[in-house]
Amino acid sequence: MNLQTGPLERDDSSDSRKRLLPLGFVWGVSTSSYQIEGAEDADGRGPSVWDAFCRQPGRIANGDTGKIACDHYHRFAEDIALMRQLGVQAYRFSTAWPRLLPQGSGLPNEAGLAFYDRLIDGLLEAGIQPWLCLYHWDLPQALQDRGGWETRDIAGWYGDYAALVARRYGDRVRRFITFNEPSVFTLFGYGMAWHPPGLTDRSALHRAIHHVNLAHGAGVDAIRSIVPHAEIAAVHNVQPSRPVGTTPEDAAAARLLDAYWNRAFTEPQLLGRYPDELAPLMAPLVKPGDLERICRPVDWFGLNHSSPVYARADQAAPLGFAWADAPAGVRQSPIGWQFDPEAFRDTLLDLHRRYHLPIYVTENGAGAVETLDADGALDDRARVEFLHAYIGAMREAVANGADVRGYFVWSLLDNFEWGAGYANRFGLIHVDFATQRRTPKASAHWYARMIRADALETTI
Ligand code: FCB
């Protein structure tokens, strides 16, 4: 298979492609540990909160679990070869805390540490930069049993974990990410019961938010002190929050969702304060010096974005608002995510103005329910159209002044998509979960050609 040959699509030479990206722009792909690794019991890995959550009846579509997933733990070399074929310059992955510290703290697991040595070394040999995220939601169950994100002690446990990772990999890794989408795992885990620990408890949510923020600060300090040349960030999902109806109550619901979803972590971490809507609720938790501990200098902003989100008023809901589906009539993907590249462009411009940091788009992608055709291929035109439109919108944001320096597709592989299990596929590469066979989709071929064309454009 050669992903890099073949004619450019007509679209690739359209006006939006002509808008130049900065020199050294990074093209990449993203994954996360629990979603691809499998190898749940291999080599001393401890249990994670997702192992337990998946086993609770009714939590995950089809009763799916991450027990095997893409078996990336054993097949990482094949996956690196696929990335090389794509021509990506960077790979964003996460380390599994329970693989490195099976009890969450204390004695490290050498076999788990050695796995990421092999992965990082393999990436570097393939000329691909490793971008390492420390937390993509798979908390060690042992720490959950000690209070999880609800206990303030976790900031220290996380700081120790960050120091372990920095000491082990800091000689080869420069890009560190403290957290992936803190607002998703806190809101979904403590407010909506869609993620572990499966609660709908407003005060637990506020404790989790504050302790994740403190852990972020502790992580930044630990990494910085061990790897002085590190480029550190948190990755935030920022998506316009819209009311689903036209009532003032729905508008207020959308503002509150915006505070939890888009500002509960970015504002304390980057501006040193909680958003106005949340400040009075957080005040009882905030000790003197906490905001200084949280607001540590970072080097860039990681943005995950695929569509706007919607809220409606619901006085009976624990948070006073409910998550809502996009209204009928808006353009949506087959899995119900709104297609709105302009919202992506505007979000990039807005983040540039608010936080004055270089932005890397660390996730953007489209989900679908897909099967291989009779010839064993997959012509995922809708995904190509999505990526083309969103990359075009990013170029527009750059042309209008946004400092965007890289873009990572979610995701390299079809994988375990949390509550949706294996039903929703986001990969550029199709995975047959029965055989573990990988098949690049049309979008993989398109992305490889796009990266190649961009490289030619910048060398001219
Ligand atoms: C993001 C998550 C990622 C994946 C994509 C579809 O919110 O970070 O793990 O589930 O959505």
**Rounded to the nearest whole angstrom, what is the distance from the C-alpha of residue 289 to the centroid of ligand 1?**
33
Q: Enter the pTM of the model.
A: 0.96
Give me the mean pLDDT over the 15-28 stretch: 80
181 counts as catalytic: yes
What's the full length of the chain, in residues?
460
Tokens coding 313: 């008023």
Q: Regarding predicted confidence, which is higher, 225 or 19?
A: 225
**Whole-number pLDDT of residue 3:** 62
Q: Counting Cβ atoms within 10 Å, is residue 23 exposed (0-12), middle (13-18) or buried (19+)?
A: exposed
Nearest one of 345, 183, 152 to 267, comparing CA atoms = 183
Q: Is the pLDDT of residue 15 over 60?
A: no
Quick: pLDDT tens for 199-219.
Answer: 999 999 999 999 999 999 999
**Whole-number pLDDT of residue 422:** 98
Report the b/e string of 94-133 with b at 16+ CB within 10 A. Answer: bbbbbbbbbbbbeebbeebbebbeebbebbeeeebbbbbb
Please, which residues have CB within 8 angstroms of residue 354's CB and are 6 or more apart in sequence? 266, 270
Q: Looking up tokens 């919202």, which residue turns up?
A: 343
Quick: pLDDT tens for 426-452.
Answer: 999 999 999 999 999 999 999 999 999
pLDDT cut 70: percent of the chain above it: 95
Quick: pLDDT tens for 76-114.
Answer: 999 999 999 999 999 999 999 999 999 999 999 999 999
Q: Residue 449 in contact with residue 8, Cβ under 8 Å?
A: yes
Q: Regarding predicted confidence, which is higher, 94 or 336?
A: 94
Please, which residues have CB within 8 angstroms of residue 315's CB and are 6 or more apart in sequence? none
Structural Rg of the chain based on CA atoms: 21
**Whole-number pLDDT of residue 19:** 64
292 counts as catalytic: no
Q: What is the DSSP letter of 44?
A: G
Please, which residues have CB within 8 angstroms of residue 209's CB and are 6 or more apart in sequence? 182, 186, 260, 264, 265, 278, 282
Nearest one of 264, 175, 269, 178 to 222, comparing CA atoms = 178
Q: Is the pLDDT of residue 64 over 90?
A: yes
Q: Which of 60, 64, 188, 417 to mutate to test the pocket of ligand 1 (most atoms within 8 A of CB)?
A: 417
Q: Is the pLDDT of residue 196 over 60?
A: yes
The model's confidence at residue 313, banded by pLDDT at 50, 70 and 90, is very high
The model's confidence at residue 456, banded by pLDDT at 50, 70 and 90, is confident
**DSSP conformation letters of 342-355:** HHHHHHHHHHHHHH
**Rounded to the nearest whole angstrom, what is the distance from the C-alpha of residue 411 to the centroid of ligand 1?**
9
Compute φ and ψ for 445, nearest 5 degrees. -65, -45
Pocket around ligand 1 at a 6 A CB cut-off: 32, 35, 180-181, 184, 237, 304, 363, 410, 417-418, 426
Nearest one of 132, 133, 299, 277 to 209, comparing CA atoms = 277
Give me the mean pLDDT over the 210-229 stretch: 99
**Whole-number pLDDT of residue 455:** 80
Q: Which of 37, 40, 267, 363 is catalytic?
A: 363
Tokens coding 2: 């050669």
Quick: pLDDT tens for 272-302.
Answer: 999 999 999 999 999 999 999 999 999 999 9
